[in-house]
Amino acid sequence: MKNYITVVGLEVHAELKTKTKAFCSCSTEFGAKPNTHVCPVCLGMPGALPVMNKKVVEFAIRAGLALNCEIKNFNKFDRKNYFYPDLSKNYQISQFDKPICEHGHIDIRVGDQKKTIGITRIHMEEDAGKLVHSGTTISTSDSSAVDYNRAGVPLIEIVSEPDMRGAAEARAYLEQLKAILEYTDVCDCKMQEGSLRCDANISIMPEGAKEFGTRAEIKNLNSFRALERAIDYEVARQMEILEDNGHVVQETRTWDDANGVTLSMRSKEEAHDYRYFPEPDLVPINLDNAWIEEIRQGMPELPAARLERLLKLGLPEESAILIVNTKEMADYFDEGTKHTKDVKGFANWMLGDVSAYLNTENLTIKDFKVTPDHLAELVELINKGTLSSKLAKKVFAEMLKGNEAPQALVKKLGLEQVSDEGAIAKIVDEVLAKNPQSVADFKAGKGKAIGFLVGQVMKASHGKANPGIVNKMLKDKMQ
């Protein structure tokens, strides 16, 4: 079997966080009762006309600047024609040959490898409504219902160069992109709600080949996991075809997450002819350089800069990337480390117990009840020796219930670590008296026996004895 190189390019749709839709003043809020955020414009009523929401352009510029793109002054819109019941005008207002942003790039890291991924273009367009079928597909359903609340919500489509060489790079790119969109406040990036969506163009070519192989476009990738799995599946599928001396067909495929396979939707021959032409209802816009500059000046710190900052604080790279990749995590970290100097300890709590809790509860850091200052206080209590790490977990479990301050909880639960040598010595003496065999073992050179004895002291002190002191004292007394 030959060695193959995987080539991946991503098309990412991001819903913009504007308050109102792209071409009318309806709300963009997610989750409202069906067809309540609609008007003659987004319903495609006869005679209604679109009017450009300036915020959409501003958000697109912000995304473009964050992705190191050239921002084009001249902007026009085009109609992309196709019939589908979720598209109220049966054409989508989009940008065809003159996207607002071009020639960008972002840096990704996979392991210790750094790589630059090119951004071909970013263009503005409107979202469609949402269809709910009585059956599985539109053609086999007895009825379908349409909700036009999403119709006209602004999107940007970010098209990458085919610069990724496998699932890991694709994931790293999408994670980095998501982080940038979150940092710039352009998109809330909720993949499960569809505010960030991804299509992947995947092909393989034999090692040393000069031209890319024929690609398949995979739709319906709604999570990082789905993206990785779909790429791996697709690579294996295409490899099998090529090893069989077959040809990969250029086609659009959909990812079936339940069964872990991609399925053919339409071939190149069946592809739509979108009959693009300039949108006559919207006049072209010429973006003022001063405005672009103003937006540039107002740009927040981006993930790359934040990562540098966290690394300088002394965090290990792996931890720093994990924290920086989600803006709310990074904000939590920044807030918490105002209250403790132990940045590593704080990071370890965030990535350890906090993340574990959020994962089991299926929450994000945004929903996390424990405030950063309280978590920092907990870290400080451990460092001061007030709490053993075991007791700290107990306190943390209590904090989850109502964000009570850890210091107060320690008192309330009577969990203060006992570091008073007199009190510990009493317990140590009792334990030594009860366990002569272990004492003998230790003296005979079996170092392990001390672990058992420490455990007995901890048990007798209900976990409150300072383990460091216990250890030292046991050794001293047995010498």
263 binds other proteins (CB under 8 A): no
Contact 41, 49 (CB under 8 A): yes
Window 189-228: contact mask with other proteins (x via CB under 8 A): ----------------------------------------
Contact 242, 204 (CB under 8 A): yes
Q: Please identify which residue in 1, 3, 46, 208 interacts with other proteins, judged by CB under 8 A.
A: 46
CA 103, 124, 30: angle at the middle one, nearest 5? 130
In order, the DSSP letters of 387-409 are S-HHHHHHHHHHHHHH---HHHH
Q: Please identify which residue in 102, 161, 228, 281 interacts with other proteins, judged by CB under 8 A.
A: 281
Q: Find the shortest distance in angstroms from Cβ 81 to other proteins.
A: 6
Q: How many CB atoms lie within 10 A of CB 97?
A: 9
- Residue from 124, 156, 121, 185 nearest 13 by CA: 156
Residues in contact with other proteins, total (CB under 8 A)?
33
124 binds other proteins (CB under 8 A): no
Q: What are phi and psi of 416, to 5 degrees?
A: -60, 135
Q: How many CB atoms lie within 10 A of CB 323?
A: 24
CA 156, 186, 325: angle at the middle one, nearest 5? 110
Contact 23, 40 (CB under 8 A): no
Q: Find the shortest distance in angstroms from Cβ 90 to other proteins.
A: 3
Give the pairing of strands 251-256 and 216-221: parallel
Region from 3-11, 86-94, 236-244, 417-425 binding other proteins, contact rule CB under 8 A = 86-94
The CA R_g of the chain, rounded to the nearest whole Å, is 29
Q: Find the shortest distance in angstroms from Cβ 267 to other proteins.
A: 16
268 token code pair:
């190149």
132 binds other proteins (CB under 8 A): no
Region from 185-193, 206-214, 268-276, 376-384 binding other proteins, contact rule CB under 8 A = 268-276
Q: Find the shortest distance in angstroms from Cβ 152 to other proteins.
A: 13
282 binds other proteins (CB under 8 A): yes
Region from 203-211, 226-234, 278-286, 337-345 binding other proteins, contact rule CB under 8 A = 278-286
Looking at the Cβ atoms of 90 and 437, the one nearer to other proteins is: 90
Contact 77, 94 (CB under 8 A): yes
280 binds other proteins (CB under 8 A): yes
Region from 48-56, 256-264, 370-378, 425-433 binding other proteins, contact rule CB under 8 A = 48-56
- Could you list the residues that contact other proteins (CB under 8 A)? 40, 43-52, 79, 81, 83, 85, 88-91, 138-141, 144, 146, 273, 275-277, 280-283
